[in-house]
Structure 1
């Protein structure tokens, strides 16, 4: 029992979705297990203030956020408070002092109030003047000076004559302008007020007026260099942004052997996840996401194909098996690479899986697998420092696998696999030296020899493993590869020789049908090679009684003339059954066996049915039908039509293109009406293309020829 049979048994127990989920889950676990060793960070059993028993290097570049924040706070603190020098403050204070003196003059020299009873001006008292002055100073101003300057100062100003008052004004304004021309902050106001008081006290004003001038001067002094919180915040923010992040660089020595593990070192070990007491789990989450991204393309591609569910399951198992084998080989090479031999990863047979998938399935899926393996290789063959990926080996695997796929694209013989391996070796060698030159690497002579040996060995191992595994997959999974089909089409195959020697007419008929079927299959996107090879063997059952089939009756009487219709019917129908048995005996692929058994479907043997009806009107029509089953695939349906078309056209003496076209149309319509095409996925549009292709092929075979004179 092969793997295909086991899958069939499991499929009877599980639905397609459940089977697919279980398979992908197992593959995911296997991939995760293979890659786990490479992403697992190395941890150390180190304690704070202990002595390091080994030198520890940083496995990756990471930002020390705590240290970065500390440095940024230092930069912000160094900025300090930002002040803005407001020059307009000087002018405002000078204007305020001038206003005070102007109001004093206005009060002193405004017209006297009239005394109505005595009809003469009434003289204002000092209290009235003070009240008027304070009222004027408190009107329509942003700053009420009356609350800051004592009343005795205003009394002094009101008592002073105009000349001395103007002299005091000039002295106060001059000193205010001198003092406030410089920057004055909050904490400097007291000092400057003492200074301006000292300057005014040196003037020749009388004592009372000098004291009033000192008080006005001190009052005029205010901060003009003002703290700006918004600008301070902006400057601090800019200073913090200018601080580069503090990073622990990959390869940087965290602690040397024999050194004390202080708080800074312990902190760095913590954030790197190198302590057994505080390991990091991020790589494991990353690996899970990576595995999901690996599985998704495999599932989506197989799910979106037009294969039946049983085929999809077989292909899923096949791809999973090939993928895991490749990963296992990669893991083995990666393990050896981590010991003594440098750059041993280049010996990995990178083209193995791509070539196997190309041979077993198709090019597109092979390219997908190549990309996925390149991604896995970048992790498995990572550098000594964990946390990095090896881009060079990923590019190497990608080009190596692509080379194997492209070389096998139009070459379908098993011998071409070894040639493909040599071609891959050349590409490997060129890619390695391209990477060396791009990186300006310096290597010893022995290392260059290693590179050459590894690259050649990689290509040859890919070819050898592919040649060895292809038969296993063909037999175990029931896969009918292109190479297998090419081998079956070899004229030296024992069964083809049997047809040629024992039933030459059938052989010729099979070749003609093969030409028709292959052209039609390729026209509608079906497997033309499968159709051709299937046609070669579809009538193998006729070799059991070749003389009972008209194409082999050369210069002999038709033996059916002496047999009853029922016996003739049994002989003709038996060739499909006998063909299936013979092909199974020789362990032929299921697809070829199906063609032999289904190419007649359940069609009616009209000739013998009519003949039997002439003898007995009550004859059962269904008993003169082939046992079937009806064609289950597009290829078998096309072969079924081509078989009838070729036999019918060959029976015509000199068929014209119009006759051929009409004949083909009638045969197709007959198959449709008889329901022979109901169980395959062929469409009416494709049938029109098939009819057109048959006409073109047959017109090329049965074209008119020039009659040469004797």
Structure 2
């Protein structure tokens, strides 16, 4: 028989070992999903390019002021566009060249008019063959019909008008206007037909004297761009960056990229870094649990409940809380650490609180601030609550947790250019509420752990040790001697437990009820049996 007994123990130990490994693997998978899935879900609904339509409202998670390249470039483009084209000073050589051209044309026309051998038809063809100007047949006929005196007058007037016009600054945009004003410049003594001849001769020769300079224009525009200082854009926490149904503009996408809310082109790095973090924390957990195998939390049942509550806190935080503005400062993360410290010990509570704080804030905005905000108040709360012997302990611990949270927020946000006094006041109040909520939820979670794990809590032990507890009253009424004896034994045991570092309250309560059966069946106890009577157990 003795050789067969160790087998079940080895089998039981192996089964528990497998259970612990499965708990570790499943917990790591769930933690990894809590880290990755919220970003995947959010980014699947986020715009990735200008011109796309947003299918949800996107709010700023925190206040920020940044240099907007889009606004700055737009202002510089507007400043450059406002610069008028730059023209060179009027070039006198252009006017001289056009006057020389007119002289050549007039000389050619005079030669054609005075040609004694050409017929009228040939003269018309010669006039219409001019390269510098194009004379229509009616103007050519009028020129040939003029007498010498009229032609000389037209010759002089054409020279005068062209010289007068070309003395002004002429640009491309006002050439047509100057040509249309020629009738007002020609001497009114000329008949209409002769004035038309002057216009036909002069109008084609009117060209710009002030030419457009692309180089000077570009230089002026660059100077205008240089005068525009970088433009800053301020976005307040909670402000709507993009509304649902809105077409994404350049400035919207820029703001989303600043906040890290736009979908990245490659998410592989994010997946890898999350996996590395989970692996590191899993390794630390294995090393810690191997050194604490004698503790209650090493039992698979305890590990399962701890893992479930841990994942619930992490999942709620990553999916619903951490990407918001005020809610992260209201989320009672400390409740988890307080519960673990009450049920087990401060060391274990601190370790899990550290893991939870890191995982909640990893890869998020204000990562360092929130990590410290979640961890330090939790540690102080665990030190304050002790063994949680009454409701006041939870309230006091929650209040202290809230006060330290307020201090952490003030340390990080006071003087922050992105946080005004209204925002700071809101976060400070939220921190205090966080602490009170943490104490309240810790009280609730303590009873959940106690019921599931079938372990007594401090409050339960205190409750059943009250003198007016029904069972103690029953013992007092039915076995007063036993009651007094139990009180003395309880006092002695409590002192002994304190001397050796054991749980004084648990020992005292156990001693109070160690003889409770005598109140109902005293004869079942050997010291209460009458001599020479049959043993009640027989």
TM-score of the two chains, using structure 1 as the length reference = 0.41
Structure 1 distance, partners of 2:345, 2:455, is 12
Map of 1:20 onto structure 2: 20
Map of 1:492 onto structure 2: 468
Equivalences for 1:318-397 in 2 at 5 Å? 318-334=305-321, 337-338=323-324, 342-379=325-362, 382-383=364-365, 390-397=367-374
Shift, 1:355, TM fit? 0.8
Structure 1 distance, partners of 2:296, 2:334, is 29
CA distance 1:495–1:299, shift in 2 (3 Å) = farther
CA distance 1:563–1:281, shift in 2 (3 Å) = same
Shift, 1:320, TM fit? 0.9
Structure 2 distance, partners of 1:410, 1:476, is 19
Shift, 1:545, TM fit? 2.7
CA distance 1:288–1:479, shift in 2 (3 Å) = farther
CA distance 1:527–1:307, shift in 2 (3 Å) = farther
CA contact (8 A) 2:342 2:387 kept: no
Map of 2:485 onto structure 1: 509
Shift, 1:465, TM fit? 1.7
CA contact (8 A) 2:38 2:319 kept: no
CA contact (8 A) 2:465 2:512 kept: yes
Structure 1 distance, partners of 2:482, 2:383, is 38
Matched pairs, number = 324
Structure 1 distance, partners of 2:417, 2:47, is 37
Structure 1 distance, partners of 2:301, 2:19, is 11
TM-score of the two chains, using structure 2 as the length reference = 0.53
Shift, 1:410, TM fit? 5.3
SS in 2 for 1:15: helix
Shift, 1:460, TM fit? 1.9
CA distance 1:310–1:14, shift in 2 (3 Å) = farther
CA distance 1:309–1:528, shift in 2 (3 Å) = closer
CA distance 1:34–1:446, shift in 2 (3 Å) = same
Specify which of 369, 373, 382 is matched with residue 405 of structure 1: 382
Map of 1:226 onto structure 2: none
CA deviation profile, 1:289-330 (whole Å, cap 9, x unmatched): 211222334444344335378962122123212212221331
Structure 1 distance, partners of 2:19, 2:362, is 29
Q: Please, which runs of 5 or more residues in structure 1 have no aligned partner? A: 1-10, 56-255, 260-271, 384-388, 552-557, 571-622, 624-710
SS in 2 for 1:560: coil
Specify which of 409, 425, 437 is matched with residue 461 of structure 1: 437
Q: CA RMSD in A?
A: 3.7
Specify which of 453, 470, 492 is matched with residue 477 of structure 1: 453
Shift, 1:561, TM fit? 3.3
CA contact (8 A) 1:333 1:345 kept: no
SS in 1 for 2:531: helix
CA distance 1:25–1:404, shift in 2 (3 Å) = same
CA distance 1:559–1:429, shift in 2 (3 Å) = same
CA distance 1:518–1:421, shift in 2 (3 Å) = same
Equivalences for 1:434-449 in 2 at 5 Å? 434-437=411-414, 440-441=416-417, 443-449=419-425
CA deviation profile, 1:365-412 (whole Å, cap 9, x unmatched): 1111111122123227x12xxxxx611001100122112201112542
Map of 1:531 onto structure 2: 507
